[in-house]
């Protein structure tokens, strides 16, 4: 790392405090934790717009395969359209993170909502004129994936400028709850609206993104401390590499990122294994749907409890507690034959990860200099997306190779191995609380 880059890294912990003071100046009434967020007009506007936008996206995600099946009758082409969203988001993830660090972040978010509204409106018109084909659906899906690749790191990077430093954990947790709530409501709404009419889910998506766009217009996002936003598009590859190096060269960023990636990978595999196991045991499809809903409900409750747990537990205990809970809970599925009880197990498993995610994400955001936060989001988004995509493939391979109970125990063994590594990690044992982040420049590395 160059001397200039090292100087920026050493000064990074001071930036969140400046950001917090700047955001606090916008609304002197803010303070405390959850109460402060409730009084934070700008965060409320962003959060409300995005919960509606998430519902619109999830509605479209459910309606896409139903629409392709109705048009072509091909399950393979349904998968192609859905896969286009994920592939576009993964391919664009690293460049998008670098662009977020160059461009004005609020304008990026506004543009993403506007483009998604236009794309969904174009699909509605094509359906109305009976001119929609698979090619158009893939194009719309790609646009959605590209917009999400840009929006997500832009929003995450903006959080420390939108809320005071002590409210960042609460904002991270509420964003997680928002995502889960949007996915649950959108998933339920998508099938219902499609039954009303083929184009109805996409009409809802248009209005969802328009609502989010208007909400964003009124969000007052303080200016960034650096003057790099809007600089010319030069050396994009070099900037992407700078972001990758930053994440890899910071031990706590590297270790916590690997924790999140391994959790996504093995739990995605475990989830598919349990669904197949439940089906093989004759659990009705309705109960399997309830299982998925209870998983989402557990995640929402966990996200709501995350700020409290974050304040009460040390970062080390929060992180290893999640892995130990998974290690102890995941093998219980071998002995459960009821879909409702499996759903309760899913809810218990989903309850704790939001607390660890809050601790990890808060540290990552506050420790990373503002001019690198977009690239941090891009790197972590791509890594997490790859883990989430490979997890089901791993689960499917385990199901093909092993009996259901053995596949469950194999997933548990993998999680247990990661649990032991995290438990004995010196880097995690020295993980700082949020209040200590600003003092890291005076603390020797682990």
Which helix (H) or strand (E) is 155 found in, with range? Answer: helix 134-162
| Residue 244 tokens, joined | 């990758």
Computed from CA positions of residues 5, 7, 10, 15, in that sequence, does the dihedral angle turn out positive or negative? negative
Q: What is the CATH code for 3-220? A: 1.20.1250.20
CB 173 within 8 A of CB 351: no
User: What are the angstrom distances between the C-alpha of 36 and each of 33, 40, 119, 170, 269?
Assistant: 5, 6, 36, 9, 38
Other CB atoms within 10 Å distance of the CB of residue 28: 7
Which residues, including other chains, have CB under 8 Å from residue 120's CB and lie 6 or more apart?
Answer: 56, 60, 140, 202, 205, 206, 209
State the pLDDT at residue 436: 60
Nearest by Cα to 47 from 171, 206, 204: 171
The gap from C-alpha 120 to its chain's centroid, in whole angstroms, comes to 22
110-142 core/surface letters (b: 16 or more CB in 10 A; e: else): bbbbbbbbebbbbbbebbeeeebebebbbbbbb
At residue 337, what are phi and psi to the nearest 5 degrees? -120, -5
Other CB atoms within 10 Å distance of the CB of residue 87: 16
Return residue ranges of the chain for CATH 1.20.1250.20: 3-220, 246-432
pLDDT tens-place values along the chain, 446 residues long = 343 344 333 333 333 333 333 334 334 333 334 457 888 999 999 999 999 999 999 899 889 888 988 888 877 787 788 788 989 999 999 999 999 999 999 999 999 999 999 999 999 999 999 888 889 999 999 999 999 999 999 999 999 999 998 899 999 999 989 888 887 887 778 888 998 999 999 999 999 999 999 999 999 998 776 644 445 556 888 999 999 999 999 999 899 888 888 888 888 899 889 988 888 888 887 788 788 888 889 989 999 999 889 888 899 999 999 999 999 999 999 999 998 999 999 999 999 899 999 999 999 999 999 999 999 999 999 998 888 888 888 998 998 899 989 999 999 999 999 999 999 999 998 887 765 655 554 444 44
CA dist 99 and 371 (Å) reads 11
Q: What is the signed CA dihedral for 321, 317, 441, 5, rounded to 10 degrees?
A: 0
State the pLDDT at residue 35: 53
The gap from C-alpha 251 to its chain's centroid, in whole angstroms, comes to 22
Residue 313 DSSP symbol: S
Q: Does domain 246-432 have CATH number 3.40.605.10?
A: no
The CA angle 368-362-7, to the nearest 5 degrees, is 20
**Helix and strand numbers, DSSP H then E, in the chain:** 18, 0
Global model pTM greater than 0.85: no
């Amino acid at each position: 790392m160059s001397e200039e880059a090292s100087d920026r890294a050493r000064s990074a912990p001071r930036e969140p405090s400046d950001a917090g003071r700047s955001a606090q100046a916008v609304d002197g009434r803010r303070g405390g934790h959850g109460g402060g967020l409730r009084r934070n007009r700008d965060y409320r506007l962003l959060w409300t717009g995005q919960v509606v936008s998430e519902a619109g996206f999830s509605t479209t995600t459910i309606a896409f395969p139903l629409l392709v099946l109705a048009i072509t009758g091909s399950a393979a082409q349904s998968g192609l359209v859905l896969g286009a969203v994920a592939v576009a988001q993964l391919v664009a993830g690293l460049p998008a993170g670098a662009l977020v660090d160059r461009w004005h972040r609020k304008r990026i978010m506004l543009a993403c909502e506007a483009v998604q509204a236009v794309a969904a409106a174009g699909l509605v018109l094509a359906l109305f004129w009976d001119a929609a084909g698979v090619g158009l659906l893939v194009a719309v899906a790609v646009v959605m994936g590209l917009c999400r690749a840009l929006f997500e790191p832009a929003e995450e990077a903006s959080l420390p400028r939108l809320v005071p430093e002590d409210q960042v954990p609460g904002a991270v947790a509420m964003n997680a709850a928002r995502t889960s709530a949007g996915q649950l409501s959108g998933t339920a709404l998508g099938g219902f609206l499609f039954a009303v009419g083929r184009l109805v889910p996409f009409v809802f998506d248009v209005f969802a993104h328009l609502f989010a766009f208007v909400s964003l217009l009124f969000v007052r996002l303080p200016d960034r401390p650096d003057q790099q936003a809007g600089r010319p598009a030069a050396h994009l590859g070099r900037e992407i590499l700078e972001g990758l190096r930053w994440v890899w060269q910071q031990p706590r960023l590297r270790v916590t990122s690997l924790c999140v990636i391994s959790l996504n990978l093995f739990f995605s595999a475990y989830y598919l294994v349990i669904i197949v196991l439940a089906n093989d045991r004759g659990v009705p499809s309705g109960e399997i749907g309830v299982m998925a809903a209870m998983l989402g409900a557990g995640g929402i409750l966990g996200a709501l409890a995350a700020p409290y747990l974050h304040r009460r537990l040390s970062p080390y205990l929060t992180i290893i507690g999640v892995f130990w809970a998974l290690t102890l809970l995941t093998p219980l599925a071998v002995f459960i034959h009821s879909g409702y009880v499996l759903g309760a197990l899913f809810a218990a498993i989903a309850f704790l990860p939001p607390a660890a995610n809050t601790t990890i994400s808060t540290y990552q955001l506050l420790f990373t200099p503002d001019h690198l936060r977009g690239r941090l989001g891009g790197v972590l988004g791509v890594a997490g997306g790859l883990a989430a995509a490979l997890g089901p493939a791993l689960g499917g391979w385990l199901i093909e190779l092993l009996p259901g109970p053995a596949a469950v125990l194999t997933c548990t063994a993998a999680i247990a191995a990661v649990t032991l590594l995290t438990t004995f990690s010196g880097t995690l044992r020295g993980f700082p609380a949020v209040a200590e982040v600003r003092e890291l420049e005076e603390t020797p590395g682990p």
